[in-house]
A and B are shown apart, each in its own frame.
Chain A
């Protein structure tokens, strides 16, 4: 079981402070999730034809420079990179599949946490406070961010088992609840070519969405299908390149609170996590309805 938090900025003036606004939200959910924490931040977009990868290696002094050089030497591509703790962000002027294949072939111990043009996923075992420190979250900038604090239910406490789970380009999922039919679903999805790293139920939900989107569903359609095909208790927050989506199962026992002002839309498992947001005293605060899909995206209408 867990805590979910998310912040989508409507006012671009706040983008330089998103990490500072978000860090206390994540920390407020420590009691719900003391095992591990993570977040997916969107911003610092790369251009068309580029891909941004979040890469992880267990050792902090892994030779990222060496890997970057390998890319440049062997593939003659433009590449920029920077490091954040044991994670490196690589921005490469090439197609995602080719970049990922190259890494798989030349640096198989490197784990790809996310891929896209905007997304960066950072997660680790430990208290949320530690994750905030380790990745220097307070200094980060971006347009939207979703995060998660984990209390492992049936699978192990590992970095791989932490949320957010990446489900495709610029897509990720965080989950509070417990699915009940994920084992069979996992096998079916594996047969369709979806890869899983853990025995975690949330990873199955993420893989399911990836698969539906690959089949041509829109985000809304994929989530409608998820409501039908996933059994169990869930509040999901899905991060997309342009915003985020929230959906709860039809029984809706797992909590979710939303707050909206002119400047932002926020979601959290408990109201406590929202109290440090500016203007929260005058925000519209409400709870999402069960079995209803909510999407907020730039360049689109809010709501269901």
Chain B
């Protein structure tokens, strides 16, 4: 177990040390102390290591994460796990805006609430939020799944492509081209698996599914107001 204290060392020192693990994994477990909301902590990782951040992180924590398992014992700022490729990022507290933005793969777990634009433009990652999510979430979501145990804010799934959205609570309003869809067996199965991977105990049957109406897939004059 390697400990890095951000009171005495810099985020640059930390990230450099973590990046070196990509070439050869010499240390599988890391602990980061006194993060105090600093930005870019543990971003660009590319190795099967576990990194525990003991406190709140700022923007882009675990940005572009590959392979690694990052756990934040606190809240995170904007863009946590943005453009994530694989691995697991687990936030015990709340996440600010754009959580999981444009992520391609892996799993992002948020135990608290996520702010606006959760999963914006997501491209294949799975996001599971225990709490609520803010407005404009899953805007232009292209692939992957977004699971919300709490409520969703305004304009959910605006301009949605193919991301699967499951919400247990209330959806304040749906965005352009996003509609409620039936939960069929394959969706219940998919959701059960996601909840299981996230370690969350919820009945998939209590969730509702939302998806794209696919009316904006090709430019049509009758949809002009949606542009």
Contacts and interface: CB of A to CB of B under 8 A. Distances in A.
A252 B78 contact: no
A201 B78 CA distance: 26
Nearest to A268: B37
Interface of A: 251-253, 255, 257, 270-275, 285-287, 289-290
Given A252-B135, A290-B116, A272 B75 contact: no
B94 interface: yes
Given A252-B116, A290-B116, A272 B38 contact: yes
Contacts of B212: none
Interface in B29-56: 36-39, 56
Contact of B58 (A251, A270, A285, A289): A270
Given A252-B116, A286-B94, 20 more contacts: A252-B97, A252-B135, A255-B78, A255-B96, A271-B58, A271-B75, A271-B77, A272-B36, A272-B39, A272-B58, A273-B37, A274-B37, A275-B36, A285-B75, A285-B93, A285-B94, A287-B94, A287-B97, A290-B116, A290-B135
Given A270-B77, A271-B56, A290-B135, A255 B38 contact: no
A272 B93 CA distance: 16
B124 interface: no
B115 interface: yes
Nearest to A251: B136
Interface string B135-162: 1100000000000000000000000000
Contacts of B97: 252-253, 255, 287
B136 to A, nearest CB: 8
A253 B75 CA distance: 18
Contacts of B56: 271, 275, 285
26 contacts: A253-B97, A255-B77, A255-B97, A257-B77, A270-B58, A270-B77, A271-B37, A271-B75, A271-B77, A272-B37, A272-B38, A272-B39, A274-B37, A275-B36, A275-B37, A275-B56, A285-B75, A285-B93, A285-B94, A287-B94, A287-B96, A287-B97, A287-B134, A289-B134, A290-B116, A290-B135
Nearest to B95: A287
A268 to B, nearest CB: 9
A287 B56 CA distance: 14
Main secondary structure of the interface of B (DSSP, over half): loop
A270 B53 CA distance: 18
Given A285-B75, A290-B135, A270 B116 contact: no
Contacts of B77: 255, 257, 270-271
Closest 7 CB pairs of A and B: A272-B37, A271-B37, A275-B36, A287-B115, A275-B37, A271-B56, A272-B58
Contacts of A251: 136
Contacts of B39: 272
Interface string B76-119: 01100000000000000110110000000000000000011000
Contacts of A287: 94, 96-97, 115, 134
Among B37, B38, B59, B75, the most chain A Cβ lie within 10 Å of the Cβ of B37
A275 B39 CA distance: 13
Nearest to A281: B55
Contacts of B136: 251
Contacts of B116: 252, 290
Contacts of A253: 97
B60 to A, nearest CB: 12
Contact of A270 (B37, B94, B134, B135): B37
Among A255, A271, A272, A285, the most chain B Cβ lie within 10 Å of the Cβ of A271
A290 B135 CA distance: 9
Contacts of A285: 56, 75, 93-94
Nearest to A257: B96
A169 B58 CA distance: 36
Contacts of B75: 271, 285
Nearest to B59: A270
A232 B39 CA distance: 26
A275 to B, nearest CB: 4
Nearest to A252: B116
Nearest to A271: B37
Nearest to B153: A289
Contacts of B135: 252, 290
A92 B136 CA distance: 51
A285 B75 CA distance: 9
